Amino acid sequence: MTDITRIDGASDAAIADWLAARLQRAFRASAGPVTITVPGGSTPFPIIEALLAHDLPWERLVVWPNDDRVVPEDHEASNTGKLRRLFEPVGAEVVTLSVMEQVPHFALAWLGMGADGHVASLFPNTDPRADDPRSVVQLTPDPLPPEAPFDRISLTIPALLDSDEIAFVIRGDDKSDVMAAAEAGEGDLPVARLLAAARQPVTVFAG
């Protein structure tokens, strides 16, 4: 397991500043596109709005969702649709996940986590593995979350680990405890499996 930096109580604005600094470094390191993957759910979107206030060459950014619900992009449950509405007006590209996609290396994998330890849509029942030969999978959470009862498409653990750096943003004491156990190498939840296989820097924003 890699070294993990935990930052408790950071505001959305502070996390956005941190992300902007990482993106700025990536833009300076290469003249080409910079590719990242970002989470869905409710937590990221206020942070993304604050991030987009920064003056960066957004037209060089390519955004991959960590995962999505298998719904049309104009559906209110679509992560991709929400990401498009935020990123495309500033010139960034947002990719639609498909099991046929060739997944690139990410400059940054920004992840969330559920209270059950799932990452992206890699729920405990799906038995996600760090040696999965696939980059993208379609799957069905069990139980289906009542707020989003849809099949999912998701990047796998190896695809998420194919990144220069990982950042988690989690909210709530229940999630913080689950993450702390995974950071300590305890348990076999998806987040623990990912952290156990990580070799790049990991930053956890909790609280």
Q: What is the pLDDT of residues 179-198, one digit of tens each?
A: 999 999 999 999 999 999 99
Mean pLDDT value across residues 11-22: 98
Confidence of residue 1 (pLDDT cuts 50, 70, 90): low
Q: What percent of the chain has pLDDT over 90?
A: 89
Phi and psi at residue 101, in whole multiples of 5°? -70, 145
Mean pLDDT value across residues 127-132: 97
State the residue for tokens 């409710």. Answer: 42
CATH number at 4-206: 3.40.50.1360
The reported pLDDT for the residue numbered 2 is 76
State the residue for tokens 């609280």. Answer: 207
Mean pLDDT value across residues 118-144: 94
d(CA 144, CA 149): 5
Please enumerate in sequence order all residues whose Cβ is within 8 A of that of 184, keeping only pairs 6 or more positions apart, or say none: none
Assess contact for 130 and 199: CB atoms under 8 A. Answer: no
Confidence of residue 144 (pLDDT cuts 50, 70, 90): confident
Q: Mean pLDDT across the chain, nearest whole number?
A: 95
Which sequence spans correspond to the domains of the chain?
4-206
β-pair partners for 204 = 6, 168
Q: Does the pLDDT value for residue 146 go beyond 90?
A: no
Residue 148 burial (CB < 10 Å; 0-12/13-18/19+)?
Answer: middle
State the residue for tokens 């950042």. Answer: 167
Q: What percent of the chain has pLDDT over 70?
A: 100
Q: What is the pLDDT of residues 92-129, one digit of tens each?
A: 999 999 987 799 999 999 999 999 999 999 999 999 99
Mean pLDDT value across residues 66-80: 95
Q: Does the pLDDT value for residue 168 go beyond 70?
A: yes
